[in-house]
Amino acid sequence: MAQIRIENVRKDFGSFNAVKSSTFTIEDGEFFMLLGPSGCGKTTTLRMMAGLELPTSGEVYIDGEEVGQKPASQRDIAFVFQMFALYPHMNVGKNISYPLRSQGMPKAQVKKKVDEIAEILGITDILNKPVGGLSGGDRQRVALGRAIVRDPKAFFMDEPLGALDAEFREHMSQELRALHDRMNATTVYVTHDQLEAMQMGDKIVVMNHGVVEQFGVPQEIYDWPATKFVAQFIGSPCMNFLDFSGSVSKDADSVQLENVSLDIPKSIDGANGDLTFGVRPEHIYLDDAAGYRGRVVATEYLGTTQIVTLDTPNGQIKARAASSDPIAVGQNTGLRFDPRTITLFDATTGHALRSHANQGVI
């Protein structure tokens, strides 16, 4: 098991810059999520760690050893592909034992090991079957079996649940997490699904356009996004943005929107010009006494909660309210924001302004 560190890693494909100077550290035994929209460079980053792509510049360390230019076969890692990539001309048992046979392990030992893995994954009864006729879940288990059979230094998984049905995905994600905890192996997991990332990950890196936007534990990233992109990408519905022109001085604890003073966590940075007031839907309360006004344009019923869409002078926002609250479309209402949870962004750069609340996180 190993710590993985990447430093200033960059990857160009011709003139296209897929990954721009990424740096982060994955601690030993961590379940680490690389999250981002498609084309953001997360898979390329993973493939560079695995040795399937060589970085244009920068270093990759596995267990303290620089492996950036080493081929995949010498890195002692395992990779689970989105499409599973089970060898179609071999049966389940052969697929799982393939990495062992490459090391020239004696047959009896290989068999013992494969049986043991099959037992863990609950696939003993299909060991002699061809992989062609297996269900998605069984293929996934075989792919996992092939990965864990070798006790590698780290597991790399590229959207391993992406090919499964939604219903089964839930089940498999729990199984994966349980397997990780049992093996206590460093796992790097690529996904574009923010829920999956929040649910399974010990730590998350959010990437966009080849750049690491934020790095941290799920709760920090959710509560204190470092950029507008992260705020938008994580959470469903995403964080609301109220754009305004104004200024915030150092140590200010309120801002002026439409001549209404709104409380914010005490600011560290000062800024002037185009700013964005960011607030999560669950931190907006419909309160007629509040000075800031909005008009309800739609409601979506979600069982325990409802999502209320409102027009405000600073743009449309969505609030989460209890579904028992009587809210009518067309109604004018006051809006109160939980002042402890507000993040201000510089609208031009998209970066969050530092405050006493998000200090140390971003």
Interface residue list for other proteins (CB under 8 A): 50-52, 71-73, 77-79, 81, 83-89, 98-99, 102-103, 131-133, 136, 139, 146, 150, 163
**Cβ 50 to other proteins, closest distance in Å?**
7
Q: Nearer Cβ to other proteins, position 85 or 290?
A: 85
Q: Nearer Cβ to other proteins, position 43 or 214?
A: 43
Place of tokens 């800024």: 271
**Cβ 174 to other proteins, closest distance in Å?**
21
First to last CA, the chain: 29
CB distance 209 to 17 below 8 Å: no
Pick from 347, 203, 219: nearest CA to 272: 347
Q: Nearer Cβ to other proteins, position 29 or 152?
A: 152
**Cβ 13 to other proteins, closest distance in Å?**
10
Q: Nearer Cβ to other proteins, position 55 or 235?
A: 55
Phi, psi of 51 (to 5 degrees): 95, 10
**Cβ 68 to other proteins, closest distance in Å?**
16
- Contact partners, residue 257, CB within 8 Å, separation at least 6: 242, 244, 246, 277, 292, 313, 314
**Cβ 126 to other proteins, closest distance in Å?**
14
191 vs 178: CA distance, rounded Å: 18
Eight-class DSSP state of 77: E
13 to 16, 20, 227, 276: CA distances (angstroms): 5, 12, 26, 35
CB distance 264 to 250 below 8 Å: no
**Cβ 12 to other proteins, closest distance in Å?**
13
Q: Nearer Cβ to other proteins, position 79 or 189?
A: 79
Q: Nearer Cβ to other proteins, position 134 or 200?
A: 134
Q: Nearer Cβ to other proteins, position 20 or 129?
A: 129
**Cβ 74 to other proteins, closest distance in Å?**
8
Q: Strands (DSSP E) along the chain, which ranges?
A: 4-13, 16-26, 31-35, 57-62, 65-66, 77-80, 154-158, 186-191, 203-208, 211-216, 240-248, 254-257, 260-263, 271-279, 284-286, 292-301, 305-312, 315-322, 332-337, 343-346
**Cβ 33 to other proteins, closest distance in Å?**
20
Pick from 67, 86, 87, 85: nearest CA to 77: 67
Q: Nearer Cβ to other proteins, position 83 or 195?
A: 83
Phi, psi of 113 (to 5 degrees): -65, -45
